[in-house]
């Protein structure tokens, strides 16, 4: 079997690897129908997160179950399934509370840019679709595996409710799907912060009512201007830098909430400054598993089309070009077909 391996900064290769097999009785092995490159894959790709040794890549996936271990009961060979980037038992106290990415037995899925994948805790991790989907549904079902679920968690963590004014910091795939999520949750006004015309267009398609091109303090001032000096009720932080985090907190009204899902890189918050903002902060690795059944349902019934964030589709063996296109911001998100 061949899959993507990151050797160092901007060096992704498509190489022969061992095919996955059932190791534990709770495992499944799936044949990947589609996988993709994540914005978070760009941190090691750019050398910002160091890579110590050649590392298999990929944590977004959907596909057909080929084999299950002897203890797997609900997932069966032949089913089309979607899982999140953390395998979870879905039974421990944290899973029961809806925080499957903090599962007491969580295992990170990190080898999905390949033709086959081993998934631990198959019964807890995977959700099957009602039937094998038609080809045109696959991009949106794949999106549910991470970006859509993460955008949804950003909106959920920011307590988006009908009628609210929502601001979204970040115009990557997660930010754009945060816009879509806020729209689904009934937000009345959605302010997308973006400087890129193609991304602004998609943001509007997903439900953005206003676009703010300014960043940092100027971006905050613009949000205040658009909200009569009050600030947004809910802000979705979908980047993970110091600037984006401060922009999100400062754009939120007292009593409002920030949902932050950008993986923080060098973010430091000042306790005293935070104290006087009166802002709720909630975020972390999105517990996508909590949202999978509902999001699959929305896609299956064609209520949402999150697959639109994939503006480049390549055969999996061209994975290196997929990374390059996203690194150079020629593509929002690359879908890969084995
Ligand atoms: Zn658990």
Tokens coding 239:
């980047």
Q: What is the pLDDT of residue 40?
A: 87
Distance 102 CA to ligand 1 centre (A): 7
| Dist. CA 97 → ligand 1 center (Å) | 9
Q: How far is the CA of 112 from the centre of ligand 1 (A)?
A: 21
- pLDDT > 70: percent of the chain: 100
Report how far ligand 1's centroid is from the alpha carbon of 261 (Å): 20
CA of residue 284 to ligand 1 center, whole Å: 16
Centroid of ligand 1 to alpha carbon of 253 (angstroms): 35
Sorted by sequence, the CB contacts under 8 Å of residue 232 that are 6+ apart come out as 164, 165, 166, 167, 191, 223, 251, 252, 253, 256
Expressed in angstroms and rounded, the spacing between residue 334 Cα and the centre of ligand 1 is: 30
Instruction: Please tell me the pTM assigned to this model.
Output: 0.96
Instruction: Please tell me the distance between residue 106's alpha carbon and the centre of ligand 1 in angstroms.
Output: 7
45's tokens: 């790709």
Cα(125) to ligand 1 centroid in Å equals 10
The predicted pLDDT at position 212 comes to 98
In angstroms, what is the span from residue 81 Cα to ligand 1's centroid? 19
Query: What is the 126 CA–ligand 1 centroid distance (Å)?
Result: 13
Return the bridge partners of 280, or none: 257
- Residues lying with their CB under 5 A of ligand 1, a single-atom ion: 88-89, 92, 95, 103
Long-range contacts of 46-52 (CB under 8 A, 24+ apart): 46/9, 46/10, 46/327, 47/8, 47/9, 47/10, 48/265, 49/265, 51/6, 51/7, 51/8, 51/9
pLDDT 10s digits, 39-69: 889 989 999 888 989 999 999 999 999 999 9
Residues of the chain with pLDDT under 50: none
> Separation of 46 CA from ligand 1 center, angstroms?
32
Six token digits for residue 180: 């879509």
């Amino acid at each position: 079997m061949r899959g993507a391996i990151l050797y160092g900064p901007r060096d992704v290769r498509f190489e022969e690897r061992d095919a996955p097999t059932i190791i534990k009785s709770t495992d499944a092995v799936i044949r990947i129908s589609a996988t993709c490159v994540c914005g978070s894959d760009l941190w090691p790709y750019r050398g910002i997160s160091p890579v110590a040794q050649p590392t298999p890549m990929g944590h977004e996936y959907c596909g057909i179950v080929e084999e299950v271990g002897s203890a797997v009961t609900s997932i069966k060979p032949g089913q089309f399934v979607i899982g999140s980037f953390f395998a979870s038992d879905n039974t421990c106290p944290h899973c029961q509370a809806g925080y499957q990415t903090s599962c007491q037995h969580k295992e990170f899925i990190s080898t999905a840019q390949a033709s086959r994948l081993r998934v631990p805790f198959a019964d807890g991790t995977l959700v099957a679709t009602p039937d094998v989907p038609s080809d045109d549904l696959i991009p949106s079902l794949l999106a549910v595996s991470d970006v859509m679920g993460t955008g949804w968690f950003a909106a959920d963590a920011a307590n988006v409710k009908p009628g609210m004014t929502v601001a979204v910091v970040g115009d990557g795939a997660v930010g754009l799907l945060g816009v879509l999520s806020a729209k689904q949750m009934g937000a009345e006004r959605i302010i997308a912060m973006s400087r890129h015309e193609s991304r602004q267009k998609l943001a509007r398609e997903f439900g953005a009512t206003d676009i703010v091109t300014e960043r940092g303090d100027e971006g905050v001032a613009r949000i205040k201007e658009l909200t009569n000096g009050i600030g947004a009720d809910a802000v979705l932080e979908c980047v993970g830098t110091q600037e984006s985090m401060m922009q999100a907190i400062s754009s939120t009204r007292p009593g409002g909430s920030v949902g932050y899902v950008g993986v923080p890189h060098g973010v430091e918050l000042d306790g005293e400054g935070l104290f006087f903002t009166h802002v709720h902060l909630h975020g972390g690795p999105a517990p996508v598993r909590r949202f999978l059944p509902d999001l699959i349902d929305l896609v299956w019934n064609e209520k949402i089309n999150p697959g639109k964030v994939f503006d480049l589709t390549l055969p999996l063996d061209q994975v290196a070009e997929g990374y390059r296109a996203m690194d150079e911001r020629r593509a929002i998100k690359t879908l890969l077909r084995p």
